Amino acid sequence: METTKARKTKRAPTAILAEFHTAHDLLHAAEKVRDAGYSKWDSHTPFPVHGMDKAMGLKDSRVGWIVLAFALTGLTGAFVMMHWMNGVDYPTIVGDKPPGAPFWTGQPGTMPSMVPIMFELTILLSAFGAVLGMLHLNGLPRHNHPAFESERFKLCSDDRFFISIEAEDPKFDVEKTRALLEGTHPAHLEVIEEEVS
Amino acid sequence: MAYWEPIRQIDEAHLVKPGSSLREVTDEIARVTENRAPRGWWICFLIASSFAGIFVLCVAYLFWRGIGVWGNTSPDFWAWDITNFVWWVGIGHAGTLISAILFIFRQKWRTAINRFAEAMTIFAVICALIFPAIHVGRPWLLFYVFPIPNQMTLWPNFKSPLLWDVFAVSTYFTVSLLFWFTGLIPDLATLRDRSTNKWRQRIYGFLALGWRGSHRHWQNYERAYLILAAISTPLVLSVHSVVSMDFATSVIPGWHTTIFPPYFVAGAIFSGFAMVETVLLIARSVFKLHRVVLMRHLELMNKFLLATSLLVGYSYAMEFFIAWYSGNQYEMAYFLKFRPTGPYWWAWAWMIGCNVAVPQLYWFKRLRTSIPVMFVVSIFINIGMWFERFVIIVTSINNDFLPSSWGYFRPTIIDVGIFTGTIGVFFTLFLLFMRWLPMVAIAEVKGTMAQADPHHEGDEGSHEVAKVDPSAGGLLPEGAE
């Protein structure tokens, strides 16, 4: 009984959070953390701060590739759907157009009438690709991030700028990491602890 | 000039008064959803929801009795139903135009109005989708328009422009909704973090998807947003083009016109901007947003209205010219005889007067910077654009090829109730949106401020103030508080 109680109240650091008042301070702090070789760290800002990609050493976003895959699926899916439904499964002759003639046969087929829906489904799937791809790459929805343990972190969506370094980072060491962040002159520094079992 | 460049480098003035802090922006916008609703909101809401109630009653009666309760009869089988559909879809175009096309062209002033316009798009498209759904006569068979297996093992006819329309408008609705929601995520996080009440925190927190302003997330977010804007740009142009093909691919004189797609798109943008302005002016005075929505933005919108009015006027002139130049007796009869001098000459006069004549007032700076003038003009444009669709649809089928079947369309009280009812539905949804969601994009406005530039070190603010030309008074609040 005693041991479980002790285990329940045991706390361990999960992240260190440094708070800054301007985007300028944040950018320079991020450069230092990047140069120190951390990998599991992040900056948190109320709006996208430009120049941060470089300051954090991030690679280009991969959302575009996901969108491309979705777009091609929409385009070919629309063609296959219309061709199969109106040309193969239940041939429907409208306007004297041979229903089974695909565009490469050279016959005046139904290809022009397929263009609007092929276009629309390409756009529809691309939009889903962009939004779902963005959420997937970001690991969202996720409502339980360690940073939310901090009361001050609420200001991140208002007018404050934060850097968080997570304990999962291989280079993480409470004292050393703290010293590094102190060297960037944050307005406030906080070690976030969570109960561990 | 790239989308990530700070606003100073592209020679645009700041959106918010220089010297404002980031927190002031958060407070100004978020307080609308946190404070009690002002009395003006309740008055508007009661009026709008009463009309929405009338709408529900009229549609219930329509479903009970059938579409004979409308004035539609031979030869006017399309009348107010399709007029209202095209009118609402057109209004819905400004939202995506502002959020996508102006975004791609780096017009940062759009940030003051984009959330608003996107919401307007969604509600307008909801109103638009109601009409094709209720005009089918047997609404329980509406699923025939979708490519899903049914008991007759029939598939939809993909060569029909009406089916293209089903895909175009439903794609437009879905993409607009995704675009709107993506833009809302960071602002929902702001509302979550500010909330002092458990339910607000839970609901906004759930919708914010756990957004924590991470830069790794912002990077993907901005790319996704850019892609959404890039794909919405051809989409917005395609949707009204496809709507116009409902008419243009038919063989009815007055409809069978190659100019229709660009003509409809110009008209859609024109009417959409007018509706954005009407609604924006109401919201600006009810919620006192004079510091975010500046006179400069309204003036830019008015210039845009003037430009699109000229485009629409050009299309009208071109239709006349082509009708005369074609030498086709039916074309000439419609454009030169029935429309301007026929039984619906008054509708035609409203169309020309409101869409071509009235916006010419905006050549004068005094008129385009006057709030009462722009409110009245924006309403006139809304009326004029409704009449444009009415003229196109009804006059073209009213006097058909057989003079013995000529008729005259008269709306019934149910027609009127359903149309004004959708206006009520639109404003009800809009007022709820203004009350519960941030109606200006908080994160985006912050991104245009001096503090957003990482090379700005705080003390530069005084330089910014000095640089503002005091004669361009639009940057200052106009007695907001």
Q: Going by C-beta distance under 8 Å and a sequence separation of 6 or more, which residues neighbour residue B198?
A: none
DSSP H helical ranges for A84-170: 111-138
- B133 touches B139 (CB < 8 A): yes
Structural domain boundaries, residue A171: 2-61+145-195
Residues 432-471 of chain B whose Cβ lies under 8 A from any Cβ of chain A: 443-444, 446-447, 451-458
Interchain CB contact of B345 with A (< 8 Å): no
CA distances from B203 to B131, B206, B434 (A): 32, 5, 16
CA distance B127 to B421: 10
Residue A102 burial (C-beta neighbours within 10 Å; 0-12, 13-18, 19+): middle
Interchain CB contact of B138 with A (< 8 Å): no
pLDDT at B305: 92
In this structure, the number of other CB atoms found within 10 A of the CB of residue B333 comes to: 16
pLDDT at A119: 93
The torsion angle over the Cα atoms of residues A34, A39, A41 and A44, rounded to 10 degrees, is 60
Q: Are residues A76 and A128 in the same domain?
A: yes
Q: Quickly tell me which residue has 């939202």 as its tokens.
A: B95
CATH for A49: 3.30.70
Domain-terminating residue out of A138, A169, A184: A138
Q: Are residues A81 and A54 in the same domain?
A: no
Interchain CB contact of B9 with A (< 8 Å): no
Question: If we measure between CA atoms, which residue out of A179, A193, A181 comes closest to residue A150?
Answer: A193
- Inter-chain touch A123–B235, beta carbons under 8 Å: yes
Question: Residue B227 is nearest to which of A50, A130, A155, comparing CB atoms?
Answer: A130
Q: Which residue of A has its CA nearest to B4?
A: A50
Q: Are residues A128 and A70 in the same domain?
A: yes
Residue A66 pLDDT class (50, 70, 90 cuts): very high
pLDDT at B474: 35
Q: How many domains does chain A have?
A: 2
Q: Quickly tell me which residue has 């500010």 as its tokens.
A: B194
- Inter-chain touch B228–A158, beta carbons under 8 Å: no
- Inter-chain touch A116–B168, beta carbons under 8 Å: yes
Span B283-318, pLDDT tens digits: 788 777 777 677 888 888 899 899 999 999 999 999
CA distances from B101 to A36, A72, B94, B230 (A): 41, 23, 10, 8
Of A124-138, A179-193, B197-211, B446-460, the poorest mean pLDDT is in B446-460
Q: Are residues A46 and A91 in the same domain?
A: no
Distance from CA of A188 to the nearest CA of B (A): 18
Q: Are residues A168 and A129 in the same domain?
A: no
Q: What number of C-beta contacts closer than 8 Å exist between A and B?
A: 224
- Inter-chain touch A143–B205, beta carbons under 8 Å: yes
**β-strand A161-166 against A41-44: which pairing, if any?**
antiparallel
CA distance B335 to B321: 9
| Among B31, B204, B217, the residue to mutate for chain A (most A Cβ within 10 A) | B217
Q: Are residues A100 and A128 in the same domain?
A: yes
Span A117-163, pLDDT tens digits: 999 999 999 999 999 999 998 888 888 877 777 878 888 888 888 88
Residue B418 burial (C-beta neighbours within 10 Å; 0-12, 13-18, 19+): buried
Q: Going by C-beta distance under 8 Å and a sequence separation of 6 or more, which residues neighbour residue B78?
A: B72, B393, B394, B397
Question: Residue A58 is nearest to which of B163, B219, B231, comparing CB atoms?
Answer: B219
Of A82-91, B343-352, B371-380, the poorest mean pLDDT is in A82-91
CA distance A46 to B22: 9
Residues 157-176 of chain A whose Cβ lies under 8 A from any Cβ of chain B: 157-159, 162
| Among A157, A160, A162, the residue to mutate for chain B (most B Cβ within 10 A) | A157
Interchain CB contact of A98 with B (< 8 Å): no
Q: Are residues A96 and A115 in the same domain?
A: yes
Q: Which residue of A has its CA nearest to B196?
A: A154
Span B57-98, pLDDT tens digits: 999 999 999 888 988 888 888 888 889 999 999 888 888 877
Q: Are residues A120 and A155 in the same domain?
A: no
Residue B19 pLDDT class (50, 70, 90 cuts): low
Strand, coil or helix: what is B42? helix
Q: Are residues A91 and A185 in the same domain?
A: no
CA distance B211 to B217: 8
Q: Are residues A123 and A71 in the same domain?
A: yes
Q: Which long-range contacts (CB under 8 A, 24 or more apart) does B135-143 make?
A: B135/B67, B135/B81, B135/B82, B135/B85, B137/B66, B137/B67, B139/B63
Q: Going by C-beta distance under 8 Å and a sequence separation of 6 or more, which residues neighbour residue B349?
A: none
Q: DSSP code of B409? A: -
Q: Rounded mean pLDDT of B243-272?
A: 89
Q: Is the dihedral of CA B392, B394, B396, B397 positive or negative?
A: positive
Distance from CA of B153 to the nearest CA of A (A): 8
Interchain CB contact of A54 with B (< 8 Å): no
Better pLDDT: A59 or B481: A59
| Residues of chain B above pLDDT 70, percent | 90
Q: Are residues A24 and A57 in the same domain?
A: yes
Q: Are residues A20 and A116 in the same domain?
A: no
- What the block records as the tokens of B268 is 């859609």
Residue B296 burial (C-beta neighbours within 10 Å; 0-12, 13-18, 19+): middle
Interchain CB contact of B190 with A (< 8 Å): yes
